[in-house]
Structure 1
Amino acid sequence: MASGSTPFMDWVADFKGRTLHPAGASPLEGLPTELLTRILLYVSSAKSGARWTPHALPGDDSPRVVGLLSSLQVSHRLHSVALRLLYHSPSIQASRSLASPVSKFFHAVDQRPAFGALVRTLDLTRAAKIGCDYTLSHPDLSRLPSLRDLRLALSQLEGISTLHHLVSSRASLEALTLDVCRRRDAHSPMLQSGAFDTRPHELLVSDDSSNLTSLRFTDATGTGGGGGGLHLVPSAMLGSLLPRMHRLQVLDVSRTRVTAEALASIPATARLTHLNIAGCQLLACDRLVAFLTTHPAVTRSLQVLRAGHVQQQQQQVITTLSTTSSSSSPSEPQDPLREDQINALLAAAPRSLRSLDLGMARMGRGNIPSLQAACGQLEELSLGPGLTMRDVEDVLLQPMYTFADEHPAVATCASAAAATYSPKEEMRAESILGPMRDAVALCQLRRRLHSVVPRAGRESGSGTAAAAASSSSSPPHSSSSSSSPPPSPPSSRLRYLSLNRLAAGEQDRLRRSVLLGRPTLPLRIIDVTALPWEGFQVLQRLAGAVGWTARWEGARTWLERV
């Protein structure tokens, strides 16, 4: 028990014999409504983990209000405040009765129409996930005049006319999330070829624009790749919706069939702050780069860009997919972003960009100068394959610092004589040599960390011997010419760095990397793929000795600076 805390029973005994406050006159009930609302939200919101969520979009980790039913029975004052919170973001959960939980919710709104005016966020995706069949109609929407955020499954829409009504005719609606599940929605009329070629006559008006600021497509089943439902979303649907999004700020079309032409149709008045196109395989990469570097909706406002696993298919594959049923999966061959395209994107990146995911983009040493410049403004960065650990070190530290090259791992006599050991002798040798190997590895790591010195200090003659050794042993590609050096990039602002797309051998070199040193501050998180258990234990011991903690998180190894 923490010092200074009072045991619960002592706290209860403290109140025995005290005069109770009259009903409605307690200090808690006398608080302003705003404070009571904050208090109830704090005690009733499901607490999410403190783990860093990289490249997050609004709504990715929104806490749900739970446990407020007991507050309804405390007093009239708390009842009125808790009721507003319950209907602000109602949670549609499974019901033991035969009636649909969604039907029961709208029945309650019918009985008390004032409750419908309290609803701001309505999430029906959980009801669809448990098999609740309910079709949202125009009368249902009219009962929720103040609805701002609607999340529902595609199968819960009455038809294309209802979708257009949500997009264009709901002045209060600001965010729309459509959940697409392959098992549930594969045969939906809206996903069939030609469904969006024509529009209903009543929607053919000149001012057919949308007030939506957020449009997202998700798959609540969590199934990615060809087994998911998002690749069923046709480009025609997106091409029909995006030209109306004059106020769009958040667009999540990951793994859908969106095209660069559909993205380019976004009105110039939109101001995208968050864009997720990860896993999209029908994007022409050159046109995508042109959109990201020239479109007015992006160039002055973009903050988060998820472009991992963006791949371009050959023209004949795109033509085949555009003429066949949308239920077919994208096929090979695919081409990711190239080095020159990455350089073009980084060179014209918006100054507002803070988070960039380029996982699976084909990177190389030619991207190092562009990445160095980008680190001066980015706080989160996910790198693609093709880079080595030395390349990543150069991105964060060169040319501001100089440091020694990595020493090769020291071989032990145990590796040569292991074949002659009996199992019992091998265990005994390992118990002795294992700590010795860890000690040698820690010495090598600390030697590298101590070799990191400012390059200006080395040039002025105040560098250490380790810096001089680094200068003589640096590879040719990192040596500077005798002429005046190029202007130094701004110091790195990175706080999160993902290396999980690098080759496994390169990720294993993290245990001997200068990335673990103080000069990489404010870097706080390094994310790599899950190492073998033995390798993770070694990394955990080495990282812990130099100020980092290593955690095993599912399929990833998570390093956090203490």
Structure 2
Amino acid sequence: MVPTSTNIPDIAPPEPCRPQASIKPAPVPYHATMEGSDLSQSRSSSDKSSGRSSFSSVRENDSDLAQTFTTPFIITIFILVVAPPEMATTTTTTRQFLPPKTQPQSKLHGCWFPAVAADGFQGWKQIDVRGRQASRSFGDLQALRIVWSAPATSNKPAKLPGRPTPGQAPIERLPLELLGPIIDMLVLDVPPNGITARNVDLMSLLLSSKTLHTATLHALYRKITIPHSRIFRKFLDHVSQNQELGTIVRRLDFSHFNPTTLFLSAAQRSTTRNLTPETLLQCLELTPYLREFLAQEHIDDEIDENVLRKLFLDLPRLTAVDFTGCSSNNFKAAMSAIPKFEWPVTLAISRLSLHKCINLPSAVFETLMPKLGDLTHLDVAGTRFTDEALMSIPHTARITHLNLAKCALLSPEVVVEFLATHPAVNGSLVCLSVASDARSHQLLDVEDVTRLLPILPSTLRSLSLKGSKMDESHINLLRPLTKHLEELALGRGLRVTDIDRLFVPDEDDDDVQMQIDWVPHTLKYIDLSDYSATELDFSTLFSNSMSIMKKFSAPLEVVEVAENLYSRLSKSPALQRLGWTVTEFGSRAWMVRRHSPEDGPRDSGLRSWKLGASFWGMRKIPMANAEVGGMYGSYMFKRKL
């Protein structure tokens, strides 16, 4: 496994009479911008070992620039720190001790090297190992019996006075609810790449003590991430042989699942029989306390009627289900059968995502919605969600996140009525999207937006009106919302001068009291991607009379624009002069304010209502509190509406 820490333990130099060789890993993080993160059908061997976290993965750069998407790479550099072992016959015995630059007097932290300049030494290739010249690669160095640490001495360390007895160390006396989160911080949910082992470093904790063994098992098995089918088979075999492990599992996460990691064709995948409807059902039966099931389009063929029956009816503790992008014929047929199930009065599911399940019949939604009395998160973007399904949500629900984007079968009158009168959204909404693609469908007209804006609660933090028809009269209705909103996506029909009024009071307004009582906005992100190059007047936007791009428009940090404006903005000297830059990812582009050190630390973007995401402008609502990546990251930040 690629080491996850840059700390290299100190090794004392070996005795001159007993030369040894040692190799220590020195991992060096390297960040590179992602360019088309989806895996191709064939991957080179270098690509397989490059450290890619997973296909379509989304990570934030460690720089001070927001909305920068990268893929982390880890390069392991092996440093030879001591001379070869005594079994290797060399042409020279001259060696040189190099003290560390930071502690030149130290004899502990330095390294022994062969004196390359010494007479007779011609490099590592001249070392004979069992009659052969070796040392041309890491494998050759292994033949020299190079070890990872100095050989252990035979003398046992003296027992220190006051040393705790086994099982009574301070860390072992911590309660499991404290010890568990500590170990959770060491767990790597997403592997460095699709086939590399992960969490190998935690294996030593399993052998430390009974207390640490229990806490580590809990950390390793509580959240299971499946990047490919071989990992799924390995996990299934473990819980089949040790069924107690299955009772620990709380999350099954297939969001990083990549079917092309090990197999190039569907025929190869089918013959292995690793992940099938039968094995998936067996897995669910062995994890009776499962709380979160996260799927996506690459496993939709493995979700059949029996799997759905198990998920909805036989896992009473299941609270989160995500079927993002599942739209295969097999999945459609399985979901179409659920109206025939013998449903209980209510389900425990509180977070449900059918994001971009584009071909599901409306009867599926009308069957599920009345059963979700504890609903808090609902994402049905791009589906055949109907007015009947929306109004059938139980009054006991308390919805905080609602995504109705691109639901063409919804009528604006019912949507506004639901948001205005339904108890499920009364004073609880935090994230709301009623966005649409104006090129194909428009949900809200000017009158609908006028009726919607006054009824929105003060709890709202993210609002998307993308694709709606708007005019300048909506600015006064939006101004109160900008005092608590952090994300705002505007519809069509506004001018730059209208949008600018959200950030400053009207100078020519006769109401002087408004200027005196003016409350600064809280917007961090604004979406103007509905506006083309002709509609978004850059000469006005970048002029001295506008405040959007000025420094005092902070905390505004990100302005999304149409993707076809990226090349034009990247060459704009005015944008750079104002302290902004432009970045893009997939089919989206943003203008991002450059962070100045004198402004203090940059806002990381992490919010509790974003459930682990740190970027601005999510297209998809997350259903679990987890690091964003895999296909979920692609749907959230890479794709269009």
**TM-score w.r.t. structure 1 length?**
0.65
Distance 1:170 1:519, change over 3 A: same
| Partner SS for 1:251 | strand
2:103 maps to what in 1? none
| Partner SS for 1:365 | coil
Distance 1:210 1:489, change over 3 A: farther
- 1:10-21 alignment to 2 at 5 Å? 13=108, 19=157
Of 386, 389, 394, 1:267 maps to 394
Distance 1:529 1:27, change over 3 A: farther
Q: Is 1:217 the equivalent of 2:354?
A: yes
| Partner SS for 1:336 | coil
1:292 maps to what in 2? 419
2:301 maps to what in 1? 155
1:199 maps to what in 2? 340
Does structure 1 retain, via aligned residues, the 8 Å contact 2:227–2:258?
Answer: no
- Distance, in Å, in 2 between the alignment partners of 1:550 and 1:233 is 38
- Distance, in Å, in 1 between the alignment partners of 2:464 and 2:335 is 29
| Partner SS for 2:354 | strand
Q: Is 1:500 the equivalent of 2:627?
A: no
Does structure 1 retain, via aligned residues, the 8 Å contact 2:190–2:225?
Answer: no
Q: Is 1:81 the equivalent of 2:215?
A: yes
1:171 maps to what in 2? 316
| Partner SS for 1:364 | coil
Question: Which amino acid is 2:538 matched to?
Answer: D
- 1:382-401 alignment to 2 at 5 Å? 382-399=489-506
Distance 1:123 1:19, change over 3 A: same
| Partner SS for 1:231 | coil
Question: Which amino acid is 1:300 matched to?
Answer: G
| Partner SS for 2:559 | strand
- Distance, in Å, in 2 between the alignment partners of 1:283 and 1:134 is 36
Distance 1:20 1:185, change over 3 A: farther
Distance 1:532 1:560, change over 3 A: closer
| Partner SS for 2:502 | helix
Q: For residue 541 of structure 1, report the CA deviation from its aligned partner.
A: 2.0
Q: For residue 20 of structure 1, report the CA deviation from its aligned partner.
A: 8.6
- Distance, in Å, in 2 between the alignment partners of 1:560 and 1:28 is 47
Does structure 2 retain, via aligned residues, the 8 Å contact 1:549–1:561?
Answer: yes
- Distance, in Å, in 2 between the alignment partners of 1:66 and 1:121 is 19
2:454 maps to what in 1? 347
Distance 1:497 1:354, change over 3 A: same
Greater helix share, structure number: 1
- 1:214-253 alignment to 2 at 5 Å? 214-218=351-355, 230-253=357-380
Q: For residue 283 of structure 1, report the CA deviation from its aligned partner.
A: 1.2
Q: For residue 218 of structure 1, report the CA deviation from its aligned partner.
A: 4.0
Q: Is 1:335 the equivalent of 2:442?
A: yes
- Distance, in Å, in 2 between the alignment partners of 1:352 and 1:396 is 20
Question: Which amino acid is 1:508 matched to?
Answer: F
Question: Which amino acid is 1:185 matched to?
Answer: N
Q: Is 1:283 the equivalent of 2:410?
A: yes
* Worse-matched range after superposition: 172-181 or 69-78: 69-78
- Distance, in Å, in 2 between the alignment partners of 1:168 and 1:186 is 20
Does structure 2 retain, via aligned residues, the 8 Å contact 1:73–1:79?
Answer: no
2:277 maps to what in 1? 135
- Distance, in Å, in 1 between the alignment partners of 2:300 and 2:222 is 23
1:521 maps to what in 2? 554
Does structure 2 retain, via aligned residues, the 8 Å contact 1:310–1:337?
Answer: no
| Partner SS for 1:283 | coil
Q: For residue 45 of structure 1, report the CA deviation from its aligned partner.
A: 3.6
Question: Which amino acid is 2:532 matched to?
Answer: A
Q: Is 1:362 the equivalent of 2:391?
A: no
Q: For residue 339 of structure 1, report the CA deviation from its aligned partner.
A: 1.4
Q: Is 1:146 the equivalent of 2:289?
A: yes
Q: For residue 344 of structure 1, report the CA deviation from its aligned partner.
A: 1.2
| Partner SS for 2:473 | helix
* Worse-matched range after superposition: 38-47 or 85-94: 38-47
Q: For residue 520 of structure 1, report the CA deviation from its aligned partner.
A: 2.7
- Distance, in Å, in 1 between the alignment partners of 2:240 and 2:426 is 46
Distance 1:46 1:127, change over 3 A: closer
Structure 2: 5+ residue stretches without partners: 1-5, 13-107, 110-148, 261-268, 596-641
Does structure 2 retain, via aligned residues, the 8 Å contact 1:173–1:212?
Answer: yes
1:375 maps to what in 2? 482
- Distance, in Å, in 2 between the alignment partners of 1:382 and 1:112 is 50
Question: Which amino acid is 2:228 matched to?
Answer: A
Does structure 1 retain, via aligned residues, the 8 Å contact 2:465–2:490?
Answer: yes
- Distance, in Å, in 2 between the alignment partners of 1:235 and 1:291 is 18
Q: For residue 532 of structure 1, report the CA deviation from its aligned partner.
A: 4.8
Of 412, 419, 432, 1:305 maps to 432
Q: For residue 272 of structure 1, report the CA deviation from its aligned partner.
A: 0.3
Does structure 2 retain, via aligned residues, the 8 Å contact 1:101–1:127?
Answer: no
Q: Is 1:511 the equivalent of 2:529?
A: no
| Partner SS for 2:413 | helix
1:70 maps to what in 2? 201
Q: Tell me how many residue pairs correspond in the alignment.
A: 417
CA RMSD of aligned residues (A): 3.7
Q: For residue 380 of structure 1, report the CA deviation from its aligned partner.
A: 1.1
1:116 maps to what in 2? 246
Of 545, 569, 575, 1:535 maps to 569
Of 322, 326, 334, 1:190 maps to 334
Measured against aligned partners, the alpha-carbon deviations of 1:74-112 in whole angstroms (never above 9, x if no partner) come to 5333544332222111222335xxxx6534423321211
Q: For residue 298 of structure 1, report the CA deviation from its aligned partner.
A: 0.9
Q: For residue 238 of structure 1, report the CA deviation from its aligned partner.
A: 0.8
Question: Which amino acid is 1:388 matched to?
Answer: R
- Distance, in Å, in 2 between the alignment partners of 1:143 and 1:210 is 21
- Distance, in Å, in 2 between the alignment partners of 1:85 and 1:305 is 34
| Partner SS for 1:254 | coil
1:442 maps to what in 2? none
> What's the % identity of the aligned pairs?
26
* Worse-matched range after superposition: 265-274 or 294-303: 294-303
- Distance, in Å, in 2 between the alignment partners of 1:539 and 1:43 is 45
Question: Which amino acid is 1:89 matched to?
Answer: K
- Distance, in Å, in 1 between the alignment partners of 2:444 and 2:158 is 70
Measured against aligned partners, the alpha-carbon deviations of 1:463-511 in whole angstroms (never above 9, x if no partner) come to xxxxxxxx5xxxxxxx558x99799775422122222222324163433
